[in-house]
Chain A
Amino acid sequence: MALLEVKNLDVRFAVRGGDLTALRRISFSLDKGERLGLVGESGAGKSVAAFSILNLIAKPGYIAGGQILFEGKDLAAMSERELRKIRGNRIAMIFQDPMMTLNPVLTIGTQMVEAILAHRKISKKEARAIALDRLQKVQIPSPEKRLDQYPHELSGGMRQRVIIAIALLLDPEIIIADEPTTALDVTIQAEIMDLLLNLCEQENVALMLITHDLGVVSQVTQRMLVMYSGRIIEQGPTREIINDARHPYTQGLINALPQMGEPGARLFQIPGSMPSLKNVPSGCPFHPRCNFATDQCKRAMPEYVRSGNVDVACYEVANLIEQEKRMQEAES
């Protein structure tokens, strides 16, 4: 059984003039110790997906359907009280901006001890020892001193290390990291990603990494999901998708990277931009930007088809697979 299994999750936002569907029939699973990447551009719904796992979507957002099974229990159906036992304890979360996540008026030590005491019945002294141990794990120089410092005394990279240390406090099974390095410089980003990767391996923690950076996903994760306009359009092993993307959108995303183009030549570009939730196109939401779009694409959302180890939602890919099958049958 998978550690976390999301089945047909629907998330909507109730706004004036009707509901906006932010996530539509999202299904994926995460195994113990596995590293999963969630990729997409802004507005794709990747952060909503991450937040909804811990039922953290703020009103007017709500989970309209589907299940989020964590060790077999449905998080979507749990009471707030039960959820609290899981949040931060079994499933921890790392957010994008370390300055917004840390409380500016409390010392690092106070915040860490508070998090431990919320879940464990131990003395403050023991809690402080755990906090110190985690700060050492994230390789912060002079950790004893840091415990008594305030967030503003640390640099951006240090703060994000503290956030990772807090996430690790209670030995979680899953860490959900929402764009953990986007606010940081490249050299610091590389160090933080290295650290996160090594810690997840050592402690056998599953990682769900939300990012827009295909390079990071490629280096850190084993499997990835590509999201577009609230749907998963492609999912499978990271290497297989990066090397040989099936969905036209994923192909476009990869080919649009400057490192893929000939220096000085025009870059591959996907025309248009991601639709807003208010007017999602009918059928496959990508069809107005897609070179392969047919009438079929405008009518209905394609079902997933399997190509290699990758699941893709695209009629064009389905047709190609059909054709290949027929060719093989004709040959034999």
Chain B
Amino acid sequence: MTSPLVSIRGLEKRFDLSGSFLEQLRFEGGRLRRKQEAVHAINGVNLEVQKGEALCVVGESGCGKSTVARTVMGLLSPSAGEIHYGGQRIDNLEGKAALPYRRKMQMIFQNPYASLNPRMTIQQTLEEPIRFHHPDWSPVQVRDKIHEVMHSVGIDPDWGSRFGHEFSGGQRQRIAIARALAVDPEFIVADEPISALDVSIQAQVLNLLMDAQESRGLTYLFITHDLAVVEHFGTRVAVMYLGRVCELADTKTLFAMPRHPYTQALLSAIPKLEDDRPNHIRLQGEVPTPVNLPSGCVFHGRCPYANERCRQEVPQLIATDGGAQVACHAVEEGRL
């Protein structure tokens, strides 16, 4: 296998909840104690994104999928672990050294109403990244580039002097995509890029992302909660639960034969057009808080197959004969 474009190694991210030193002090049992609390958003994630693929990360709210996206982009710094891009470690780069990677990696956000500056025209929005990364370009070159990207996302280049609020949600998301494409990136992190849009508009934007991938040879890290989109769009899928990857497989393999009990439940919960009656796997309880992580397998409290080992030992991702990598003791032992 060729070396991956992006590799995420042993990534951990904690968000401290306890505040300053004085706020951490508690008076318990007659003496002062220092108490620290943190949200364990990501707990040891290893992922490799191959060139030209669309790796989808799916999971429910609070599973850490957006934190993974933001940490890869350098918007958050990891608590532990490394991010490599094209063989080079990038999570510790600062200032000028990080610049070339900022151009090669671009991000598309979920809400196109929040991600466009309301006080900038579309022209200015698209101009800014180009001028920043290519300070030597002439105004004509910049203008030509803007026309090219606007054209490629299906926005009339004559609308450059309009403001974001003059566009519909779908058009705004196209502009956000144009902004990401303006600096000719190789790698795009898309964090729920279509979940704020209507069904008919979702199809338009999804088609646009696929066209861009084909014509520009882009690599995607695609964050979503919508499994139907994943099945359509993804090359490979990583299913996350409480900050850990519980299953990683080719899209076809995952949808044909989900192995991890959580993946199975997640797949069965998609409302399908064919079914007359909902027929899904019921999970007990709800997702536990990431402040106090369960011991052992993070899923054991809701898993119908959990045993003593699951309560104590953290399962690692292990390759199965089907080609998928699954982090589950039951699958490993052949109980499932």
Interface check B199, CB cutoff 8 A: yes
- The size bracket of the interface on B is 35 or more
Q: Within 8 Å CB of B283, what residues of A?
A: 187
Q: Within 8 Å CB of B277, what residues of A?
A: 219
For window 307-327 of chain A, which residues contact chain B by CB distance below 8 Å? none
Interface check A283, CB cutoff 8 A: no
Q: Contact: B60 with A185, CB < 8 Å? A: yes
We find that the number of chain A residues with CB closer than 8 angstroms to chain B is 44
Interface check B280, CB cutoff 8 A: yes
Interface check A87, CB cutoff 8 A: no
CA distance in complex: A138, B252 (Å): 37
Interface check B202, CB cutoff 8 A: yes
Q: Within 8 Å CB of A180, what residues of B?
A: none
CA distance in complex: A189, B270 (Å): 9
Interface check B273, CB cutoff 8 A: yes
Q: Contact: B271 with A213, CB < 8 Å? A: yes
CB-CB under 8 A for A186 and B266, given A219-B276, A239-B276, A242-B273: yes
Q: Contact: B201 with A273, CB < 8 Å? A: yes
Separation in Å of the A200 CB from the closest CB of chain B? 13
Interface check A83, CB cutoff 8 A: no
Interface check A148, CB cutoff 8 A: no
Q: Within 8 Å CB of B231, what residues of A?
A: 258-259, 263
The one of A191, A242, A268 that contacts B203, using a Cβ cutoff of 8 Å: A268
Q: Contact: B276 with A253, CB < 8 Å? A: no
Q: Contact: A190 with B280, CB < 8 Å? A: yes
Interface check A101, CB cutoff 8 A: no
CB-CB under 8 A for A259 and B273, given A185-B225, A186-B225, A193-B278: yes
Q: Contact: A218 with B200, CB < 8 Å? A: no
Q: Within 8 Å CB of B282, what residues of A?
A: 191
- Residues 247-289 of A, flagged 1 when their CB comes within 8 A of B and 0 if not, give 0000011101111110110111111011000000000000000
Q: Contact: A186 with B269, CB < 8 Å? A: yes
Q: Within 8 Å CB of B211, what residues of A?
A: 266
CA distance in complex: A194, B271 (Å): 11
Interface centre among A185, A186, A218, A242 (most CB of B within 10 A): A186
Interface check B92, CB cutoff 8 A: no
- Residues 5-25 of A, flagged 1 when their CB comes within 8 A of B and 0 if not, give 000000000000000000000
CA distance in complex: A185, B269 (Å): 10
CB-CB under 8 A for A256 and B202, given A186-B60, A269-B207: yes
Q: Contact: A269 with B269, CB < 8 Å? A: no
Interface centre among A41, A187, A189, A269 (most CB of B within 10 A): A187
CA distance in complex: A267, B268 (Å): 23
Interface check A157, CB cutoff 8 A: yes
The one of B199, B210, B225, B227 that contacts A253, using a Cβ cutoff of 8 Å: B199
The one of A187, A267, A269 that contacts B266, using a Cβ cutoff of 8 Å: A187
CA distance in complex: A267, B170 (Å): 16
The one of B207, B228, B251 that contacts A257, using a Cβ cutoff of 8 Å: B228
The one of B200, B233, B275, B278 that contacts A194, using a Cβ cutoff of 8 Å: B278
Question: In the complex, what residue of chain B is closest to A242 when comparing beta carbons?
Answer: B273
- Residues 181-219 of A, flagged 1 when their CB comes within 8 A of B and 0 if not, give 000011111110110010000000000000011111011
Q: Contact: A258 with B225, CB < 8 Å? A: no
Q: Contact: B200 with A269, CB < 8 Å? A: yes
Interface check B333, CB cutoff 8 A: no
The one of B225, B232, B273 that contacts A254, using a Cβ cutoff of 8 Å: B273
The one of B207, B273, B286 that contacts A267, using a Cβ cutoff of 8 Å: B207
Question: In the complex, what residue of chain B is closest to A197 when comparing beta carbons?
Answer: B278
Known A-B contacts: A186-B60, A214-B273. Give 10 more (CB < 8 A): A41-B199, A186-B269, A190-B278, A197-B278, A218-B273, A252-B200, A258-B203, A258-B233, A260-B273, A261-B232
